[in-house]
Amino acid sequence: MKELILEMEKYAKDHNVPIMQNEGIAFLMRFIKANNIKNILEIGSAIGYSAILMASSDVDVKVTTIERDENYYMECLKNVKKCDFDKKVSVVFQDALEVNLSDENKYDMIFIDAAKGQYIKFFEKFKYFLAPNGVIVTDNLKFHGYVGKSDEIESKNLRQLVKKIENYIEFLNNNQEFTTKIYDVGDGISISVRKNGNT
Ligand code: SAH
Ligand code: MG
């Protein structure tokens, strides 16, 4: 397991795969254990790094993870097999915005880590699949330190992307349904809970 994790970290580095930072994933693993989270839905698997580590937080944690890129999907399946997590991690090959989940599936945690420009869409779509005291978690809210400084960015593409993350943060802060805390760990992680919940 340890070896596979190191192997995935190296693969990510060599192939420029944006996996979670050590500090961020360690934070999530502690959070999962401390809050007795069992069923997780992840949007954006890449090679399965965060899915496998989240699933390893505790014996009965299960992760369903969605990936639209075929190469990443194949790589993710391979890694899930390597650590014998076929029963703990299920990988769905589809665009998350097109996935039809059964209404009966409710998740204790929904982890959004896919296209940064679509975070509001993901949030609005998947909030219906949250268990009553569930949480929605998002990664990369600092976006390598650019967030909050979008006006200074010269590249138009990067500026627009960072602006979308800034909009998403505003969306979270003004949300009537959810209360959000943003943690300055890893690349910036938010945790949103329903206002009437008691988590
Ligand atoms: N969570 C992973 C990293 C994910 S990187 C980890 O920390 O290990 C973001 C991934 O989201 C990429 O693999 C990208 O292909 C995928 N992605 C982006 N938009 C998506 C969408 N709409 N549906 C499914 N996957 C998406
Ligand atoms: Mg990320």
**137-146 tens-digit pLDDT:** 999 999 999 9
Pick the ligand that lies closest to the CA of residue 17.
Answer: 1
Looking at the CA of residue 20, tell me the nearest atom of ligand 1.
Answer: 7
Q: What is the overall mean pLDDT for the chain? A: 96
Out of 6, 40, 43, 138, mutate this one to test ligand 1's pocket (max ligand atoms within 8 Å of CB): namely: 43
What secondary structure, in 3-state letters, does 33-78 show? Answer: HHCCCCEEEEECCCCCHHHHHHHCCCCCCEEEEEECCHHHHHHHHH
What per-residue confidence (pLDDT) applies to 70? 98
Looking at the CA of residue 25, tell me the nearest atom of ligand 1.
Answer: 7
Which residues are near ligand 1 (CB < 6 Å)? Answer: 18-20, 44, 46, 49-50, 66-69, 72, 95-97, 113-115
Domain 2-194 belongs to what topology? Rossmann fold (3.40.50)
User: If pLDDT is split at 50, 70 and 90, which confidence band does 104 have?
Assistant: confident
List CB contacts of 86: < 8 A, sequence separation 6 or more.
80
Q: pLDDT tens-digit profile of 41-52?
A: 999 999 999 999
Pick the ligand that lies closest to the CA of residue 188.
Answer: 2
Looking at the CA of residue 97, tell me the nearest atom of ligand 1.
Answer: 22
Q: pLDDT tens-digit profile of 56-76?
A: 999 999 999 999 999 999 999
pTM of the full predicted structure?
Answer: 0.96
Q: What is the mean pLDDT of residues 35-46?
A: 98
